[in-house]
Structure 1
Amino acid sequence: MEELKFELFKLAAEGYCCSQIMLKLALDMEEKNNPDLIRVMNGLCNGIGGNQKTCGVLTGGIGIIGLYAGKGNAEEWTKDNFGTMVRAYMDWFEERFESTECLDLIGVYQFLDDNNQPYPVKCGDTLSESFGKVVEILQENGYLFGDRE
Structure 2
Amino acid sequence: MNVDFINPFIETIDNILATMASMTCEHGKAYIKEGVGPLGVVTGVIPMDGDSVHGSLAISFSAGAIVCISSKMLGEEIAEVDETCHDLTGELTNMLSGGARKLLWEKGYNFEMAKPSLIAGDKDIEHSISAPVIVIPFTTKAGPFFIEVAIGSKLRRAASVI
* TM-based fold match above 0.5: no
Higher share of residues assigned strand: 2
Higher relative contact order (CA 8 A, sep 6+): 2
Higher share of residues assigned helix: 1
> TM-score w.r.t. structure 2 length?
0.28
> TM-score w.r.t. structure 1 length?
0.30
